[in-house]
Structure 1
């Protein structure tokens, strides 16, 4: 599938999705959000794809925010609809994807850009990364899940301060806060993500899918995460991956998971 604002390429089990609006610092507009949804959906249904890496083109930005020109004159109803549709189409969609998603955060990840990175299953940053949710400086709040995911990742107090000051933190502070898992050089960012992806690909994709469901359940209102874990744990026993994994362990060999 061809896109105007992104690239998507699968190689050796890894699909790399690149946001490509360098003149706009890869800012999210409605077309880009729609294209990202389509690319993630396509990769998730591609049997060759075991891990997805999301990155921004160029050296300056992962995603520098949302394209403000698109919504500066919106009404209350239009604003609420923008957030609702965006969360459903992309941010919640990525979070609940059964294929692992790694955000490779290069440069600025601000506003919707940080929200996009936080929707991914985990994040790796280059040492020039800057992250923040500056929406209150525009008279609005984060609308793509930022007020929910940031406290989950770094704690309520730090999230309150970061959102209310509209400030930015650097990559090493983000690492200290637990917002990113690793910090590396810009040249090594994609190779490190690919190295982590290769480790993920050694394991059962069916079990990983169940693990994502169980982990996410802990953060959903009215859902008992322990019960979801029990259910997903039990389901694993009925899979060919479980049979292969336990057989390989007992036979002292590397497992070759069929993904079923």
Structure 2
């Protein structure tokens, strides 16, 4: 296993947990941390993780955002490179071949919110506070927020959150559809672990195909998406998990997926 200074990657059976570990900086994302996340995603995939949890160390923050101390004096070319790195990490989270669950355990601002948006599912603790806060720094979301947020919460809510730089609590985030569940602070880890364990028990190939098709829905027309779904659906026939799942159903027993 790799040795990183600002993140941790651990495994419990088929579930990987990637923790951003800069609690003294509220887990803010600098270049080293983003590059380490890229490496950890590759390692989790190579180790065959069937579900991935993304969270932050400490009690105060999931990821409080990009590292403003690093950003403030960037030139335009340097800012472009930083944006490309952030986009690459978010895209790799979105394309990870297993479900990714964000356990939002505190502040999730700016780039932290954008990493959460790239996850498949989001669970927040009651004390979590979330927002695309870049406007008050004189910039806009730069790691996918202007594109992923309206897809998740709708255009009007996304514009309000981005234009005003609002910081919203977990319950408001849930009402807007920004997170799928809110749980007590002391229940977050167990809740997300149970969720990830349940996902990891699903048939790997079918779950990866489901994620791929759902992601495609945001990228193409309905007609093209439906064609894509048909190809994925029919391509699963003949796989072990398809045969096992259907045999188990007919035989009234629990399936044993690969």
Paired position in structure 1 for 2:73? 73
Structure 2: gaps spanning 5 or more residues:
none
Counting only pairs closer than 5 Å after superposition, residues 227-246 of structure 1 correspond to structure 2 as 227-246=227-246
Alignment partners' CA distance in 1, 2:77 and 2:201: 47
Aligned to 2:210: 211
CA distance in 1, matches of 2:86, 2:225: 26
| 1:37 aligned residue | 38
Residues 89-124 of structure 1: per-residue CA shift (max 9 Å, x gap) = x10011011111100001100000000111111100
Query: C-alpha separation between the residues in 1 aligned to 2:18 and 2:170?
Result: 22
Equivalent positions of 1:44-59 (< 5 A) are 44-47=45-48, 49-59=49-59
Range with greater deviation from structure 2 (225-234 or 115-124): 225-234
Answer yes or no: is 1:6 the counterpart of 2:14: no
Offset of residue 222 of structure 1? 6.4
Cα deviation 1:34-57 (Å, max 9, x = unaligned): 11111111111213x211111101
Give the Cα–Cα distance (whole angstroms) in 1 for the partners of residues 196 and 81 of structure 2: 35
TM superposition outliers: structure 1 runs of 4+ over 2 Å: 75-78, 221-224
C-alpha RMSD over aligned residues: 1.2
Q: SS in structure 2 opposite 1:150?
A: helix
Task: Tell me the equivalent position of 1:98.
Answer: 97
Aligned-pair distance for 1:221? Answer: 4.7
Aligned counterparts of 1:228 and 1:117: Cα–Cα separation in 2: 26
Cα distance in 2 for partners of 1:221, 1:133 equals 26
Structure 2 residue aligned with 1:86: 86
Give 1:144 shift. 0.3
Deviation at 1:84, TM superposition (A): 1.9
1:203-250 Cα shifts (integer Å, max 9, x gaps): 111000000110000111568221211111111113111111111111
Q: Does 1:115 align with 2:114?
A: yes
The question of whether the paired residues in 1 share the 8 Å contact of 2:31 and 2:82 is answered with: no
Q: Give unpaired runs (5+ residues) of structure 1.
A: none
Paired with 1:63 and 1:253, the residues of 2 have a C-alpha distance of 43
Shift of 1:2: 0.9
Name the structure 2 match of 1:17: 18
2:159 is aligned to 160
Map of 2:198 onto structure 1? 199
Deviates more, 1:190-199 or 1:138-147: 190-199
The answer on whether the counterparts of 2:34 and 2:85 sit within 8 Å (CA) in structure 1 is no
Once residues 157 and 207 of structure 2 are traced to their aligned partners in structure 1, the CA distance between those partners, rounded to angstroms, is 30
Q: Distance in 2 between matches of 1:126 and 1:7?
A: 21
Task: State the distance in 2 between where 1:226 and 1:75 align.
Answer: 44
**Corresponding residue pairs, total:** 256
Q: Distance in 2 between matches of 1:233 and 1:23?
A: 47
Query: What is the SS of the residue equivalent to 1:65?
Result: coil
Cα shift at 1:85: 2.7
Partner residue in 1 for 2:189: 190
